[in-house]
Copies of this chain bind each other. A is one copy, B any other.
Amino acid sequence: MEREFDVVVIGAGVAGEVCAGRLAERGLSVAVVEDRLVGGECSFYACMPSKALLRPVELLNEARRVPGLVVGDLDTRAVLKRRDEVISHLDDSGQLPWLEERDIELVRGRGRLDGERRVRVGEDVLVGRRAVVVATGSTPLVPPIDGLADAHPWTNIEATTATSVPTRLAILGGGVVGVEMAQAWSALGSFVTLVHRGDRLIEREEPFASEQVADGLRESGVEIRLAASATRVSRNGVVRVSLDDGSELEADQVLAAFGRHPTSDDIGLETVGLEPGGFLRVDDALRVPGFDWLYAVGDVNGRALLTHMGKYQARLAADAIMGRDVAIRSDGARSPRVIFTDPQVGAVGHTLAAAQEAGLRARAVDVETSGNAGGSFVGRAAAGTSRLVVDEERRVIVGATITGSEVQEALHAATIAVVAAVPLDDLWHAVPSFPTRSELWLKLLEAYGL
């Protein structure tokens, strides 16, 4: 059967849903195609369950810093139970009313392009008169390390949904998934060893962020092995990981946290002359160059593999499809981002090194995140640094990194300042309330010399 819609969206993860929703709310007929869970990786196997595991850890650590609170150890069962609630026990039926209310047609099955404006789902063909939006996301990357695939490693999927706590957990990869899962599972009782091939964890962030996160993990009992790579993995009752320094480690479970691979191998790209398997590159209106009807949003386009950036792209793509002039303004490595370890890391825009590489006349100023009156109450004596990277020519902030306890909501002020290029002289008049830790802004501007 062939059916026509204004727009067909392949993939009902968060980006696909947002794009479909925005189009449907403005009266377009929309179909979304999904062969797995509506809501996608983020809702069920990434951001949401990981934060359900991490919030109690963060809050417990903070509660222990505040005299007067009487706190016991984490109740692992209650944490996992809440995590199961957050992921609705891996049942996506709770997502369906949102689609129904918007008259979005949900088509269950694997969607593949089938020539111009056509999407095949099994025997059916959906035609997107105005556009087809690819929002197929990404899958965990499992590199060809000897024995790794056969050892059936955890990926983010199992690491966020596991129902019991491994006694010993080896984590391969010290990026965001690696450090967040190390934090979560060590707090829940695992003995975690984190193996990372680089010299420091979360290498895209400021060096001080890497150091503080490593220190925090070590304090939680995580063993960190830097500049080390797995060369061989085997599972035989226990998991054995051989490292390139000749050592070996033994664990009960191994998590492969090496990054992401775009879900583009088997979505029919070849039917329109595009190469399968890579990121589906798009222009600043989220359109695939050379195809006025083909858009890609979210992880699959490789611009910024972050849920909120996928949602942002989805809104822009929807607007572009509806004929508005759009241009992405927040993108790539400069996108706002939060890592929910303890300390947390919130960052937006350039790191100092990235700004200098980009050829900017950049200067960084640093203060302690809790080095102000508000820090007597929140994140007291906890590690944390706040850095602004200033473009000395334009006198605007081009980057900010804030680490510390409970800093996730502090980032948005920096995001606004960076994205809107608010002049430093205006920021000087934006007075942080006393006694909140937002006075870090005041200290930073004073350190800069205003």
B56 touches A59 (CB 8 A): no
Residues of chain B contacted by A423 (CB below 8 angstroms): 420
Are B60 and A69 touching (Cβ within 8 A)?
Answer: yes
Q: Which residue of the partner chain, among B72, B82, B377, B427, contacts A52 with CB atoms under 8 Å?
A: B377
Does A431 contact B74, Cβ atoms closer than 8 Å?
A: no
Instruction: With CB as the reference atom, state the residue of chain B lying closest to A76.
Output: B68
A413 in the interface (beta carbon within 8 A): yes
Nearest-neighbour CB distance to chain B for A374, whole angstroms, equals 8
A63 at the interface (CB under 8 A from B): yes
Asked if A69 and B74 make an inter-chain contact with CB atoms under 8 angstroms apart, the answer reads yes
Quick check: is A162 within 8 A (CB to CB) of the other chain? no
Please, how many angstroms separate the alpha-carbon atoms of A432 and B413 in the complex?
10
Give a binary string over A422-450; 1 marks a CB under 8 Å from any B CB, 0 the rest. 11001101111111111101100000000
| Contact status A432-B55, CB under 8 Å | no
Which residues of B have CB within 8 Å of A311?
431, 434, 442
Across the interface, do B338 and A436 meet the contact criterion of CB distance under 8 Å? yes
Q: How many copies does the complex hold?
A: 2
Query: Are A433's CB and B336's CB within 8 A?
Result: yes
Tell me whether B71 and A69 are in contact (CB under 8 A): yes
Within 8 A of B (CB), among A65-87: 66-76, 78-79, 81-82, 86
User: What residues of B have a CB within 8 angstroms of the CB of A320 in the complex?
Assistant: none
Give a binary string over A371-386; 1 marks a CB under 8 Å from any B CB, 0 the rest: 0011011100000000
Chain A residues proximal to chain B, CB less than 8 Å = 14, 42, 47-48, 51-52, 55-56, 59-60, 62-63, 66-76, 78-79, 81-82, 86, 306-309, 311-312, 329-330, 335-338, 346, 373-374, 376-378, 406-413, 415-420, 422-423, 426-427, 429-439, 441-442
Residue of B nearest to A411 (CB): B433
Cβ contact within 8 Å between A69 and B42:
no
Query: A224 to nearest B CB, angstroms?
Result: 25
* Bound-complex Cα distance A304 to B435 (A): 16
B420 lies within 8 A of A441 (CB): no
With A409-B436, A412-B432 given, name 12 new contacts (CB 8 A).
Answer: A42-B434, A52-B377, A59-B63, A59-B69, A68-B82, A69-B71, A307-B434, A308-B439, A330-B431, A407-B409, A408-B436, A409-B438
**Among the listed B48, B56, B377, B430, which residue makes an inter-chain contact with A69, where contact means beta carbons less than 8 Å apart?**
B56
A430 and B63 within 8 A (CB)? no
Contact B434–A412 (Cβ < 8 Å): no
Q: Which 9 A-B pairs have the closest CB atoms?
A: A70-B72, A68-B79, A56-B68, A308-B434, A412-B438, A67-B82, A420-B426, A55-B377, A307-B434
A81 touches which of B14, B67, B86, B426 (Cβ 8 Å): B67
* Min C-beta distance of A342 to chain B, whole Å: 14
Residues of chain B with a CB closer than 8 A to A438's CB: 408-409, 411-412, 415
| Given A409-B410, A420-B422, A431-B336, also A376-B48 (CB < 8 A) | yes
Are A415 and B435 interface neighbours, CB within 8 A? no
Among candidates B68, B81, B335, B435, residue contacting A74 with C-beta atoms closer than 8 Å: B68
List of B residues within 8 angstroms of A52 by Cβ: 376-377
